[in-house]
Amino acid sequence: MILIEQLVKRGVLKKEKALSLETEIKNSVKKEEEVLIREKIVSEDFLFNLKSEILKIPLKREVDKEKIAQKVFEIIPEESARYYKMISLSKKKDILDVGMVYPEDLSAQEALKFLSRQEKFTPQVFLITLTVFSELIKRYQDIRKNVDQALQQLETELKVDKTEAKITEKVDLERLVEKAPIIRVVAVLLRQAVEKEASDIHIEPVKGRLRVRIRQMGILRSSFWLPLKNLAPIVARIKILASLKIDETRIPQDGRFSAKINEKDIDFRTSTFPTTLGEKVVIRILDSTTGLKSFKELGLERKNLEIVKKTTKKPYGLILATGPTGCGKSTTLYAILEILNKEGVNIITLEDPVEYFIDGVNQSQVKPEIGYTFATGLRHIVRQDPDIIMVGEIRDEETAGLAIHAALTGHLVLATLHTSHAVGAIPRLIDMKVDAFLLPSTLSIIIAQRLLRTLCPFCKRKVKPPKETEEMIIREVKSIPESIRRDYSIEVPKDFYIYEPGQCKKCDTKGFSGRLGIFEVLAMTDQLEEIILQKTSESAIFQQARNQGMITMKQDGILKVLEGKTTIEEVLRVAEEK
């Protein structure tokens, strides 16, 4: 206890009293600063000046909380600020001034390092007193108060008569949505979702209330509730942003808009849908600044990675990524494009929307409302002398036929398709009127995938699996062909452990801290070609896929469970049985 020791040395504190205080501190959760100030042994200013001298960290004696920009203040979340007694003070370029009451605390140092990596800043630490910290922490309450005030002001704008007549006139809504309160409310909804790294916002009327939910790491969670009377102006404000008709509430509408949030340009895709209680709005968040991912970051590994890398070296053929909406198909195709993007090739994409920007790639966004569809774009792309083409989604027979034709005529084509498993892509293409005899010569590989949550590395806990789970894991690993297990050093587990989520500040007590893909990759072979030409069933195609060594998504997920990356519950949640 450095401060008590120094006070004894300077004759300010007697040894007997020092021993008594040290015993109290050891037997409680209190810090020596708190105890010394409580006992009025020295003033707070004297104590923190001494601490500054000992630690050789400059002391900030006064800080005006009103001068701290809100976006700077919110870099350190409120829970972290309260727990570690540290707070953002100012930011210049990538240097963040951080005030800390206990900069010597190792856990606080680790938390700050974690935040600096996550938010990409270099911390410059200053010592602050407990009084200064107490004053600054009120800023979080002020931020919440601003939101509450905006909602209260909105309530005033939304006053209705005793019959609770609803606001439906277009002119009333137009007047209302330009008012400051509703603008702030919608801005808060968007900013909160972006800061929490959500993929979607759901604004939906339920009985008597308006529910706002956000989807984080694939899971939909309630964010907060509002009075139902707020629905009309909030929906109208979002419609104006997305250039939709605010007086049309009978049919669904789709639109999009962009906004700068925390100095990042974010794109929002908006969809409205009429329900019996009013319009529901879903907003998809597209953050193009999150960056592209490598195969390792995606979770593509072992034989699956080897097949994908081998296929990308071919000058032509069709590479399909399949799976439901939001499973990371486009991200996987972007990772492949990153490898293919070289000076000597012409790459053109058709997307809806363009999610990430790749330097050197010609990216085009389709606009169905003006007749610029995937099919229309594909017809024109072939006149642009392309080597590699990416089609955001094969949605119809015409797009499927054009994509197959492009692959057949010497182009490498990447595309996405909605099917549950890799083998399901073949009958799906045949349903789209693609001749079966064209598939073996054009279709190179099919990549099916799902996203699952990854465990927080700081709080995950090692546990012994239940007997039933243990038997299932052993059974699945054993079903991977022996040649594959040998080539990739996959061992059948014996007396093993798995992991379950814990709770810590670094993962906001969720136990998970990101997402990872599980994959199955089906490559075209001579044996598979024979089955396709015979037009046999999907189950026959699946059996041949297993015969030629395809690792299923469930098996890929279980291997990641054994590596401690995720939980068995996550794998069973997202990996469907075939």
Alpha helix positions (H), 27-99: 32-38, 44-55, 70-73, 78-84
Q: Is residue 338 part of a domain?
A: yes
CA distances, 566 to each of 109, 466, 495, 511 (Å): 27, 16, 19, 10
Rounded distance between C-alpha atoms, residue 443 and residue 553, angstroms:
20
Both structure tokens of 553: 């998504």
One domain, residues 427 and 504: yes
Torsion angle, alpha carbons of 147, 174, 223, 449, to 10: -140
Do 325 and 415 fall into the same domain? yes
Domain range enclosing 239: 158-288
- % the chain with pLDDT above 90: 39
CB 129 within 8 Å of CB 101: yes
Pair 274, 319 in one domain: no
Contact 195, 262 (CB under 8 A): yes
* Contact status, residue 411 vs residue 420, Cβ threshold 8 Å: no
Q: Is residue 129 part of a domain?
A: no
Would you give the distance in Å from CA 509 to the centre of its chain?
16
pLDDT at 425: 93
In this structure, the dihedral spanned by the alpha carbons of residues 60, 63, 68 and 72, taken in order and rounded to 10 degrees, is: 30
Cα angle 43, 44, 45; round to 5: 90
What is residue 230's predicted lDDT score, i.e. its pLDDT? 83
Whether residues 178 and 240 fall in one domain: yes
372-419 per-position pLDDT tens digit: 999 999 999 988 999 999 999 999 999 999 999 999 999 999 999 999
- Quick: pLDDT tens for 26-76: 877 678 888 888 888 888 888 899 989 999 999 988 887 667 776 787 788
Can you say whether the dihedral through the CA atoms of 513, 217, 354, 310 is positive or negative? positive
pLDDT tens-digit readout, 100-129:
999 998 888 888 888 888 778 899 999 999
In Å, how far from its chain's centre is CA 142? 28
- Tell me the two tokens of residue 520: 């199955």
Question: What is the arithmetic mean of pLDDT over 356-376?
Answer: 88
- Of 288, 312, 328, which closes a domain? 288
Q: What is residue 149's predicted lDDT score, i.e. its pLDDT?
A: 58
| Cβ atoms of 60 and 124 closer than 8 Å | no
Residues 517 and 558 in one domain: yes
Domain count, the chain: 2
CATH code of residue 266: 3.30.450.90
Measured distance CA(43)–CA(39) in Å, rounded: 10
Domain boundary among 267, 288, 309: 288
Domain-ending residue, one of 288, 323, 352:
288
One domain for residues 255 and 330: no
